[in-house]
Amino acid sequence: MRKICVIGTGYVGLVTGTCFADLGNQVTCLDIAPDKIEKLQRGEMPIYEPGLEELVARNVAGKRLTFTTSYPDAVPGAEFIFIAVGTPSGVDGEADLQYVRMAAESVADVMTNYTIIINKSTVPVGTGDSVAEILRERGKQPGVDFDVVSNPEFLREGSAMFDFQMPDRVVLGSTNRAAAEKVAQLYLPLRCSIMITDLRTAEMIKYASNAFLATRISFINEIATICEKLGADVKEVAAGMGMDKRIGRAFLDAGVGYGGSCFPKDVKALTWMAEINGCHPQMLRAVMEINRDQRRQAVTKLRDLLGTLRGKTIAVWGVAFKPNTDDVRESPALDIVHILQTEGAHIRAYDPVAVENARKISHGIQFCDSAYTAAENADAVVLVTEWNEFKNLDFERVAATMKNKILIDGRNIYDAERMQAFGFTYRGVGRGYGSS
Ligand code: UDX
């Protein structure tokens, strides 16, 4: 049993702290936001993540997991301190490290024993060195030693617990291999592959992995656009490609593009790091450009079918950036809504869990209590987030209440012929000519 402190109780920090507690460690999760900590102390989750509430409750009951806002309470005595705070995009796309710096400074002020500081947040290459610098300069207690380790997370929202407990690999980087090996001990119960490398390489593995996944998505989206001109079906193309073991099927689903708090931010940050170091990341720029255009293509299909969007009512199914999360950051749905609204369309939308978060960063959307009510009297429906509950609706009922039976399938979850049999004018992404 080790004594662990996790700083930051967002998607990464709360899952990491809870899962380490579930492995038998003594974990304190710290956040500077009192409301978040008060909610957690009442057993309420600040985020939607399937299975998290139950795992938190079990480990709080087992007295392995506590929550605090106090560094003096959480840091002294901790052997491992994970920094899992936000690193939002700055104006030029660079990662904003103010919260990482604040966390490192707060730790340095109260550290009383040898501690291993672990960067779990996605941080630009070289941040580990900066954190070490802060700890060296700011350390109040003479003679208190520390090491810094990079341990990037590879958690997908909506399956974060699974991804923590069944990782493809754990990546650890440090200037002191012994420190990385101590952190590796924490992961031994997971019986997974553990890679130990240097600090900067570990930080780069995270960015390169996310940028590659984003590249796969923009690649298949570009192929989808070509399929619409050449009369091929991109879903079949992806299936045929994926049979090649060198390619694999994952992350080849064409659609309205990627969103979330990671891919958009990480590709931008990697591009920024490359550019300020004199590189010309053409591919990364193209990945972002294609991703932006995918959202616009959905609007173009609507405009082509309706003639004009002014005064039309468009139903949007799904506002979360992907299913099984309430996260709406960089959500394709909200980008599409914004374009539709600027062209004068009225929006009715439904999402199983993300409506509250969507309300905070959008305006003028009429949120409905189901996919059916959202579609009532609509001129078109746009499926943007592939929640399971959208896959087998009563489409006769949907068609009967719509003014125009137009269905834009932004995630290719429907069968074109089946939808056309219900009377819909169907448009997918890359599903053949014009994608009808
Ligand atoms: C991602 C990485 O997968 C994870 O390893 C990293 O730690 C954090 O960022 P996440 O952003 O939670 O995880 O979701 P993910 O499932 O990767 O999807 C990201 C976006 O890509 C979503 O908007 C999704 O709709 C989109 N996507 C995914 C596609 O458009 N096509 C695909 O084939 C796969």
Within 10 A of 333 (CB to CB), how many other CB atoms are there? 30
pLDDT of residue 93: 87
Q: Which domain range does residue 327 map to?
A: 232-435
pLDDT of residue 321: 98
Measured in angstroms, how far is the CA atom of residue 375 from the centroid of ligand 1?
A: 27
Average pLDDT over residues 203-227: 98
Which residue's CA lies nearest to atom 29 of ligand 1?
258
Give the number of domains in the chain.
2
Measured in angstroms, how far is the CA atom of residue 277 from the centroid of ligand 1?
A: 28
The CA distance from 430 to 436, in Å, is 9
Measured in angstroms, how far is the CA atom of residue 256 from the centroid of ligand 1?
A: 13
For CA atoms 69, 74, 75, 78, the dihedral sign is: negative
Among 143, 173, 197, the domain-final residue is 197
Q: Is the pLDDT of residue 165 over 70?
A: yes
Question: Same structural domain for residues 266 and 397?
Answer: yes
Q: Is the pLDDT of residue 139 over 80?
A: no
Question: Same structural domain for residues 305 and 166?
Answer: no
Question: Same structural domain for residues 28 and 174?
Answer: yes
Measured in angstroms, how far is the CA atom of residue 214 from the centroid of ligand 1?
A: 8
Average predicted confidence (pLDDT) for the chain: 96
Question: Same structural domain for residues 277 and 192?
Answer: no
- The two tokens of residue 101 are 């710096």
pLDDT of residue 363: 96
Place of tokens 């509950």: 389
**Kindly report the CA angle at 14 between 360 and 63, in degrees rounded to 5?**
135
Query: Which of 85, 69, 70, 79 has the alpha carbon at shortest distance from 26?
Result: 79
| 3 state DSSP class of 85 | coil
The CA distance from 123 to 100, in Å, is 9
pLDDT of residue 140: 66
Query: Does some domain include residue 369?
Result: yes
- The two tokens of residue 108 are 């340095």
pLDDT of residue 90: 87
Which residue from 122, 262, 290 has its CB within 8 A of the most atoms of ligand 1, so it is best to mutate?
262
Which residue from 122, 251, 252, 386 has its CB within 8 A of the most atoms of ligand 1, so it is best to mutate?
251
Query: Does some domain include residue 375?
Result: yes
Among 153, 174, 197, the domain-final residue is 197
Of residues 227, 262, 279, 368, which has the active-site annotation? 262
Question: Same structural domain for residues 60 and 180?
Answer: yes
Which residue's CA lies nearest to atom 32 of ligand 1?
251
Measured in angstroms, how far is the CA atom of residue 391 from the centroid of ligand 1?
A: 20
For CA atoms 185, 188, 190, 192, the dihedral sign is: positive
Q: What are phi and psi of 186, to 5 degrees?
A: -65, -30
Which residue from 215, 220, 263 has its CB within 8 A of the most atoms of ligand 1, so it is best to mutate?
263
Average pLDDT over residues 387-405: 98
Query: Does some domain include residue 208?
Result: no
Question: Same structural domain for residues 26 and 101?
Answer: yes
pLDDT-derived band at 432 (thresholds 50, 70, 90) equals: confident
- Pick the atom of ligand 1 nearest to 256's CA: 30
Question: Same structural domain for residues 187 and 239?
Answer: no
Contact 12, 20 (CB under 8 A): no
Question: Same structural domain for residues 146 and 293?
Answer: no
pLDDT of residue 322: 98
- Pick the atom of ligand 1 nearest to 325's CA: 12
Query: Does some domain include residue 225?
Result: no
Which residue's CA lies nearest to atom 34 of ligand 1?
251
pTM of the model: 0.95
Strands 170-174 and 146-150: antiparallel
Which residue's CA lies nearest to atom 7 of ligand 1?
154
Query: Which of 148, 128, 173 has the alpha carbon at shortest distance from 80?
Result: 148
Lining ligand 1 with CB less than 6 A are 153-157, 210, 213, 217, 251-253, 255, 258-260, 262-263, 321-322
Question: Same structural domain for residues 33 and 154?
Answer: yes
Place of tokens 């070490």: 132
262 catalytic? Reply is: yes
Among 197, 223, 252, the domain-final residue is 197
HSE value, Cβ hemisphere, 13 Å, CA-based, for 30: 21
Question: Same structural domain for residues 168 and 263?
Answer: no
Question: Same structural domain for residues 191 and 58?
Answer: yes
Give tens-digit pLDDT for 67-92. Answer: 999 999 999 999 999 999 999 888 88
Question: Same structural domain for residues 280 and 413?
Answer: yes
pLDDT of residue 103: 97
Q: Is the pLDDT of residue 436 over 70?
A: no
- Pick the atom of ligand 1 nearest to 266's CA: 9
Share of the chain above pLDDT 90, in %: 94
Measured in angstroms, how far is the CA atom of residue 387 from the centroid of ligand 1?
A: 14
Q: Is the pLDDT of residue 403 over 70?
A: yes
Give tens-digit pLDDT for 252-306. Answer: 999 999 999 999 999 999 999 999 999 999 999 999 999 999 999 999 999 999 9
End-to-end CA distance of the chain: 58
Query: Does some domain include residue 203?
Result: no
The CA distance from 406 to 422, in Å, is 11
Query: Does some domain include residue 213?
Result: no
pLDDT of residue 138: 87
Residue 251: burial class (beta carbons within 10 Å; 0-12, 13-18, 19+)? middle
Query: Does some domain include residue 281?
Result: yes
Query: What CATH number does residue 104 fall under?
Result: 3.40.50.720
Query: Does some domain include residue 210?
Result: no
Measured in angstroms, how far is the CA atom of residue 74 from the centroid of ligand 1?
A: 33
